[in-house]
Structure 1
């Protein structure tokens, strides 16, 4: 996930930390909270460069105002270079920080406008899914330590609803800060390592960004992502089209030892691994040449599909789109569990027709037909003219007349325009009286229709022709 590092650069971060230095350390060499914060950021960047190389990171500083030091980028060395030249400003203003995700502060609540209490009162929930983690560089023996941690957690609950406050255990030392960062990285910045299987073919893979569990909004049911991604079939890319996806991930093969290559890896190891056959390479070539997608099962009653995505003319990758949990999440494919090989339908003579996509749903969609629209007077007048045209052809056009009459009646009841039904009834009676060439049966039908329009009835009632028998 794109990560925002937010560093508190207020004056309170310049306070020395005696517990982080030896007893005989000179006063001007005692590390400050700012020094520990920069050390934590460097350790975090090292973790990202080793385990999450494709992540975008940005650095923001805040005090009374905020400043974007580096925009979103994968060049972590640029962020390291800017850390040494960051200036110190005045007080802590949490309202200027609320765009941040990974906050590093000394836990001070600030004072005056923009303090932590005011920020919590005025803060609103982020309009996008996010997770905020806070590393507070404060000692357990400090005044208001517990209250400060509780208020920071409250800030997380108000803005994101997801995240934690991390703090050094026992005393504020470099080792304690590293321990807090390790807990954060283990929880939220651990790369996904799993297996892609198709029959007897297996390949170790990683997904970027790591997939997250799905929690249903309706019943709060949790769906966990499986370590084994099983290919259950293949489908034409045109048939699958582009359904709505819960998340999308870059799928990459792992080395045979299932570890990420370090920056100090030897060339000989990479050469050996490059000569080892890999199922992901075979799958990528097959899907790209045949324009197909692989339907995969990523959890219990949870599906997705793998396809090739081309960044430019020369570079192409495997992508995994994860669908929302369920078997009917792609309407034109129908139930996922009922899909099967096309050859079984072709060779099975008991099936009269071979099914094709898209699968037609059993119910009729409300938007499937041409709806009645009465926005302007001309549209109402056109429907009346059409009804009168059928009147003059009675009794030959009995079915067309009553179909048009029921359509007008239902639409008038649907939009609350019931007064028009009386007008339609008067038009039918006048047509019966004025027309001299009206067939006797036509007069009976017109009178019957006018009477039915004046009779109160349910919306679902259908006016049927009058029977003389």
Structure 2
């Protein structure tokens, strides 16, 4: 979840602010104080965050490219220069260029589908030169699928008001997500990074935001080949938390060491940690762990390698619901192999119980009759007539084709077709040669009568699941 800090360095930020009669400060100094507060918080809690610093007035300038070195970011803040007027649109275009150059145009942090937070260093919100520009840009951004919020000062311009405003931003966006990962009697304190956002399912009648629980319960393990590459709504890094003395700290090392992401074992230090055991086991066995995130909401834990020497424990979130991956069936119906009568994977792991076959055959998996052109309907009717002329040898095939046409006609409400085919069968009956088998006439008359009854639409004779069966005669074998 990369962060771009866009700092206004126009002349309006040089306006003086009187702080209880002591030396004069500029509004720029208040902004720098708030950003230093943000960077210090991120250095302690979001050390894996990539952050970039940009300055803008009528033009924009990249001061610090994406980095995890928060000392470099704070040093750049102390060396800001002043320029001319403000141009927000140009600055946003600059952010778009920087993000796309670093992460690619399809990255989820592209500025047009990201979160924009505006922090205004002013008491005169409505009369501020940003007022109509920032709000119109913000609303335009939201209409494109983004999100964000505008933060304003409460009370006079002072250090305390700035701290309060940046504190709200930190609580909303940069508060760490701590959870406990459970697996039977084993557990581990972990930090999920970045913080999982609430999810709202649009198809629900009364959609309510779903939040990831702070108690993550592993419900089972499955082979990577069986889960394949499932659709997910977000991916997160799971970091074990080591306990140092009386304070819970994430053992991540110094900021300089973080130019490369620490592995799970580095994060946990030297103390035994279930999270490290889990990560190593999944990596060696080639499996993933299914984890319950909340009521009828699941995800998976797996090992993902960033390089040949290092890998991390990752967590992917599925869509909420009892059956997020159709080929696995309902997650609650899965169970351990030991409870199965026979090993579903076979003695030599030569087979797999997945994908689970649905009890009801899917409509798109059936041989559905579709008449797009008149020629298709004509072909099906001619097929019935050809088999009718070969009765009784083709009795089973005749009734199979007849029932297929009957079901299609009932599904489309095509009653006239049933009546028309019945008339054709009666005509075929009258045209039978003297050498024809006697059973042919009985079967044709019986089939025609059944089609006429179905064409009336009477539920007694037009049931969709009903099939016309051959008439039993003395000539039948």
TM range (shorter): 0.7 to 0.9
Q: CA RMSD in A?
A: 4.5
Alignment check: 8 A CA contact 2:290 2:301 kept: yes
TM-score normalised to the size of structure 1? Answer: 0.73
1:139 aligned residue (116, 119, 123): 123
SS state at 1:193 partner? strand
Counterpart for residue 262 of structure 2: none
1:207 Cα shift?
1.4
1:372 Cα shift?
2.5
Output the CA distance in 1 between the equivalents of 2:183 and 2:405.
57
1:291 paired to 2:286 = yes
Output the CA distance in 2 between the equivalents of 1:62 and 1:433.
93
- For residues 49-87 of structure 1, what are the alpha-carbon distances to aligned partners after superposition, in whole Å with 9 as ceiling and x for unaligned? 4322333445566778x8584898345667668765677
Counterpart for residue 105 of structure 2: none
1:40 aligned residue (34, 40, 47): 34
Alignment check: 8 A CA contact 1:249 1:321 kept: yes
SS state at 2:243 partner? coil
Alignment check: 8 A CA contact 2:252 2:266 kept: no
Output the CA distance in 2 between the equivalents of 1:308 and 1:389.
62
1:167 aligned residue (127, 135, 152): 152
Counterpart for residue 351 of structure 1: none
Output the CA distance in 2 between the equivalents of 1:395 and 1:67.
87
Counterpart for residue 216 of structure 2: 229
Q: Gaps spanning 5+ residues in structure 1: where? A: 102-125, 349-353
Counterpart for residue 456 of structure 1: 456
Counterpart for residue 212 of structure 1: 197
Counterpart for residue 66 of structure 2: 73
1:48 Cα shift?
3.0
Output the CA distance in 1 between the equivalents of 2:199 and 2:170.
21
Q: How does 1:59-458 map to 2 (within 5 A)?
A: 69=62, 73-74=66-67, 88=83, 90=85, 97=92, 130-139=114-123, 144=127, 152=135, 155=139, 163-217=148-202, 218=204, 219-257=206-244, 258-261=248-251, 274-346=269-341, 356-375=353-372, 379-412=376-409, 414=411, 421=418, 424-425=421-422, 427-436=424-433, 437-450=435-448, 452-453=450-451, 455-457=455-457, 458=462
CA spacing shift, 1:67–1:391, aligned 2, 3 Å: farther
- For residues 445-465 of structure 1, what are the alpha-carbon distances to aligned partners after superposition, in whole Å with 9 as ceiling and x for unaligned? 334444554523257264624
Alignment check: 8 A CA contact 2:56 2:91 kept: yes
Alignment check: 8 A CA contact 2:322 2:330 kept: yes
1:166 Cα shift?
2.1
CA spacing shift, 1:158–1:174, aligned 2, 3 Å: farther
CA spacing shift, 1:178–1:82, aligned 2, 3 Å: same
CA spacing shift, 1:173–1:388, aligned 2, 3 Å: same
1:231 Cα shift?
2.0
1:189 Cα shift?
0.6
1:181 Cα shift?
0.8
CA spacing shift, 1:412–1:168, aligned 2, 3 Å: same
Counterpart for residue 3 of structure 2: 3
Output the CA distance in 2 between the equivalents of 1:329 and 1:35.
50
Alignment check: 8 A CA contact 1:50 1:262 kept: no
Counterpart for residue 18 of structure 1: 17
SS state at 2:249 partner? coil
Output the CA distance in 1 between the equivalents of 2:118 and 2:144.
13
CA spacing shift, 1:296–1:132, aligned 2, 3 Å: same
Alignment check: 8 A CA contact 1:294 1:306 kept: yes
- For residues 119-167 of structure 1, what are the alpha-carbon distances to aligned partners after superposition, in whole Å with 9 as ceiling and x for unaligned? xxxxxxx998754432121116x7658x969x95994876668544322
1:184 Cα shift?
0.9
Output the CA distance in 1 between the equivalents of 2:65 and 2:114.
16
